[in-house]
C-alpha cells in the first residue's frame, strides 16, 4: 500500500495585522498518499492559497504558522529552519505552480535560464547540462526545446503555464501544488492544461494538490476533495462521495450553484450573505449566518468533526449525537 507523502495536523496560519489577527487557516488536518490528487475548493478568501503557502513555508509577512505540524515525506517542516527548508524540502519534495504564470516568471531572463537555475543551485549541474535537462522538461510539457531561448513575453498564456509546470517538476518533487492553474486561460487551453496535469501524474507518479474555486476542474482531476470555508475544512472525502452525496450545507449549496449539462434542469441557487471577517469569526459554526439549516447550537458552539465513513468527514452539528 502506498504511504502518506503529506500529513497536515491541526495547522494554524495567522496574519498578525494592526487591526487584529486574521485566522486564515485555522485547525486544518488532512493526509495525502503517493500518486493521489486532492482538490481544495471554496470561495475567494477562505484560506486556500494561504494553506498552499504554508505547506511550502512561504507565508508572506505579517503571516506565520502559529501551530500544528506539516510532515512531508516523514519530515516535520515546521521544525526546520528557512535554510533547511530551502535546501532540503522546497522544490525537491514539494513544489508549486503559482497562480498567474506571468507573475511567476522573471521578464528579464530567458525561459531556459529560469528552468536551469534550480538545477545548477541544487544539483551542481553546469549551465550546459542544466539547459539540456531543461529541454527535456519542456518536451515533457508539450513545448519545443527551442523555447529555452525565448523570454516570457514571447509566449502565449498557455505556453507560459506549461513553462511554470515544467519549473515545478524540474527537481522531481513528490508533491506538486497547482494554485488556480487555469486562471485567465480560455476554455480550450484550460482543457489542455488539465489533460497535461493528468498525464504527468500518471507518468511520473506525483501527488497533486489542486486549489481552485471551480468545482468542475476538481471533478476532472481529483481523487479526494476538501471543501474550505472561512479557514476551516468543512467537508473532506472521496470525489464521488462529496459530489454525489454532499453532507455539509455549504458543499450542497456550492454544488447547487453549478449549471448541469445533463438531467433535469433547475434554477441555479446562490448563497446569501458573505464570508465572515476572519479577525473576528462567529462564536459557533462559521457558516451558520448563511446556513438555512442553522440551529441555536450552531450559533453558540463550534461544530464537532463527524466521521461519516472511514474516509469521509464533515464539520457540522447536523450529524452530531446530542
Other beta carbons within 10 Å of 278:
21
How many angstroms separate the CA atoms of 183 and 43, rounded?
15
pLDDT tens for 120-171 read 999 999 999 999 999 999 999 999 999 999 999 999 988 999 999 999 999 9
pTM of the model: 0.92
Strands 4-17 and 63-72: antiparallel
| pLDDT recorded at residue 310 | 86
Which triple of cell numbers denotes residue 140? 515533457
Q: Which residues of the chain have pLDDT under 70?
A: 1-2, 263, 321-322
Other beta carbons within 10 Å of 266:
9
Q: Which CATH number does the domain housing residue 290 bear?
A: 3.40.50.300
How many angstroms separate the CA atoms of 104 and 122, rounded?
19
41 lies in some domain: yes
| pLDDT recorded at residue 2 | 59
Determine contact, residues 48/211, Cβ cutoff 8 Å. yes
| pLDDT recorded at residue 270 | 84
| pLDDT recorded at residue 55 | 96
104 lies in some domain: no
- In 3D, which of 55, 53, 3 has the Cα closest to residue 29? 55
How many angstroms separate the CA atoms of 5 and 204, rounded?
15
Round the average pLDDT of the chain to a whole number and report it. 91
- For the chain, the domain total comes to 1
192 lies in some domain: no
| pLDDT recorded at residue 183 | 76
297 lies in some domain: yes
pLDDT tens for 58-77 read 999 999 999 999 999 999 99
Determine contact, residues 193/185, Cβ cutoff 8 Å. yes
Determine contact, residues 169/176, Cβ cutoff 8 Å. yes
How many Å from the N-terminal Cα to the C-terminal Cα in the chain?
Answer: 37
Q: State the virtual CA torsion across 24, 26, 30, 34 in degrees, nearest 10.
A: 40
Residue range(s) defining the domain that contains residue 226: 4-83+222-319
135 lies in some domain: no
Which triple of cell numbers denotes residue 307? 466521521
How many angstroms separate the CA atoms of 38 and 238, rounded?
9
The DSSP H or E segment spanning 296 is: helix 296-300
How many angstroms separate the CA atoms of 156 and 251, rounded?
35
35 lies in some domain: yes
Other beta carbons within 10 Å of 19:
8
Give SS3 for 111: helix
Decide: residue 258, CB within 10 A, 0-12 exposed, 13-18 middle, 19+ buried.
middle
109 lies in some domain: no
Identify the bridge partners of residue 6 per DSSP, sorted by sequence position: 32, 72
How many angstroms separate the CA atoms of 322 and 319, rounded?
9
Amino acid at each position: 500500500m502506498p504511504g502518506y507523502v503529506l500529513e497536515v495536523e491541526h495547522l494554524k496560519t495567522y496574519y498578525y495585522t494592526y487591526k487584529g489577527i486574521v485566522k486564515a487557516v485555522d485547525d486544518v488536518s488532512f493526509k495525502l498518499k503517493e500518486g493521489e490528487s486532492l482538490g481544495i475548493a471554496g470561495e475567494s478568501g477562505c484560506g486556500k492559497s494561504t494553506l498552499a503557502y504554508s505547506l511550502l513555508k512561504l507565508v508572506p509577512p505579517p503571516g506565520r504558522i502559529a501551530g500544528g505540524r506539516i510532515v512531508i515525506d516523514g519530515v516535520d517542516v515546521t521544525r526546520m529552519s528557512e535554510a533547511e527548508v530551502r535546501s532540503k524540502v522546497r522544490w525537491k519534495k514539494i513544489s508549486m505552480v503559482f497562480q498567474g504564470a506571468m507573475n511567476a516568471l522573471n521578464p528579464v531572463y530567458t525561459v531556459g535560464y529560469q528552468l536551469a537555475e534550480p538545477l545548477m543551485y541544487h544539483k551542481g549541474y553546469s549551465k550546459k547540462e542544466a539547459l539540456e535537462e531543461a529541454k527535456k522538461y519542456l518536451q515533457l510539457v508539450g513545448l519545443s526545446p527551442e523555447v529555452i531561448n525565448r523570454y516570457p513575453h514571447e509566449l502565449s498564456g498557455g505556453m507560459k503555464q506549461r513553462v511554470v509546470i515544467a519549473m515545478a517538476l524540474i527537481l522531481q518533487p513528490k508533491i506538486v501544488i497547482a494554485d488556480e492553474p487555469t486562471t485567465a486561460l480560455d476554455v480550450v487551453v484550460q482543457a489542455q492544461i488539465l489533460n497535461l496535469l493528468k498525464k504527468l501524474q500518471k507518468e511520473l507518479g506525483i501527488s497533486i494538490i489542486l486549489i481552485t474555486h471551480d468545482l468542475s476542474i476538481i471533478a476532472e482531476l481529483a481523487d479526494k476533495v476538501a471543501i474550505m470555508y472561512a479557514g476551516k475544512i468543512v467537508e473532506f472525502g472521496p470525489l464521488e462521495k462529496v459530489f454525489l452525496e454532499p453532507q455539509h450545507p455549504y458543499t450542497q449549496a456550492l454544488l447547487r450553484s453549478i449549471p448541469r449539462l445533463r438531467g433535469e434542469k433547475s434554477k441555479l441557487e446562490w448563497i446569501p450573505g458573505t464570508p465572515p471577517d476572519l479577525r473576528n469569526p462567529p462564536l459557533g459554526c462559521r457558516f451558520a449566518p448563511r446556513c438555512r439549516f442553522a440551529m441555536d447550537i450552531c450559533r453558540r458552539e463550534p461544530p464537532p468533526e463527524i466521521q461519516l465513513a472511514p474516509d469521509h468527514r464533515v464539520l457540522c452539528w447536523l450529524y452530531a449525537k446530542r
